[in-house]
């Protein structure tokens, strides 16, 4: 159940209660200019401090990609956590972050771009050192050929998808 609040003519407040996907079946009408102004002022404070949609999506998705995650698993987590109705929409949200260079997808694995970029910098972009570093720090086994792909992508500053 969610609570919906609507201010009418600056002096009436309609409060509805109902499921998120449906219109409110039950509600209350409160005629109070003071309450209407108070709620409007609070809403405007919150609205002015609100995150952009893309920033919210990035925050939610990066919670699941501390370092790396399998693409299919991430897609399912995005669908569930953001209530995305289908896989295609979840893939579009992930693609948005690939293009923004927040994520890096190599083969079927998705990496936190910033984490692997810092790891590459700390290991002087040497594949063997990157493999060792990722295992030591994050307990993630990355073969040298995959480390080479990660390094190539970071050096290119493309982010995005590497095959």
Residues 59 and 43 in one domain: no
Gap between the Cα atoms of 160 and 113, Å rounded: 9
Q: Which residues contact 25 (CB under 8 A, 6 or more apart)?
A: 17, 18
Select the more confidently predicted residue: 129 or 162.
Answer: 129
Q: Which residues contact 129 (CB under 8 A, 6 or more apart)?
A: 123
Residues 81 and 145 in one domain: yes
106-117 tens-digit pLDDT? 999 999 999 999
**Tokens standing for residue 163:** 């095959």
52-99 tens-digit pLDDT? 888 989 999 999 999 999 999 999 999 999 989 899 999 999 999 999
Long-range contacts of residues 81-88, Cβ cutoff 8 Å, at least 24 apart: 82/57
Check: CB of residue 61 under 8 Å from CB of residue 93: yes
| Three-state DSSP state, 32 | coil
Instruction: Over range 37-63, report the average pLDDT.
Output: 90
Check: CB of residue 131 under 8 Å from CB of residue 119: no
Residues 98 and 132 in one domain: yes
Residues 60 and 29 in one domain: no
Q: How confident is the model at residue 23 (pLDDT cuts 50, 70, 90)?
A: confident
Domain that holds residue 37: 2-48
Check pLDDT > 80 for residue 26.
yes
Structure pTM?
0.69
Check pLDDT > 50 for residue 39.
yes
pLDDT for residue 31: 95
pLDDT for residue 146: 94
Residues 82 and 128 in one domain: yes
Residues 59 and 25 in one domain: no
Q: How confident is the model at residue 159 (pLDDT cuts 50, 70, 90)?
A: very low
Residues 68 and 99 in one domain: yes
Q: How confident is the model at residue 160 (pLDDT cuts 50, 70, 90)?
A: very low
């Amino acid at each position: 159940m969610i609570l919906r609040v609507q201010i009418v003519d600056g002096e009436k407040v309609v409060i509805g209660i109902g499921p998120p996907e449906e219109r409110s079946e039950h509600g209350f009408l409160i005629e109070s200019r003071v309450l209407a102004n108070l709620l409007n002022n609070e809403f405007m404070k919150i609205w002015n401090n609100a995150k952009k949609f893309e920033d919210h999506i990035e925050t939610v998705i990066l919670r699941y990609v501390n370092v790396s995650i399998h693409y299919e698993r991430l897609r399912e987590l995005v669908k569930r956590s953001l209530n995305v109705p289908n896989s295609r929409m979840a893939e579009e949200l992930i693609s948005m972050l690939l293009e923004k260079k927040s994520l890096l997808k190599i083969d079927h694995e998705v990496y936190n771009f910033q984490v692997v970029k810092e790891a590459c910098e700390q290991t002087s972009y040497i594949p063997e050192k990157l493999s060792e570093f990722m295992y030591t720090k994050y307990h993630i086994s990355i073969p040298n050929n995959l480390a080479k792909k990660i390094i190539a992508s970071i050096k290119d500053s493309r982010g995005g998808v590497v095959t």
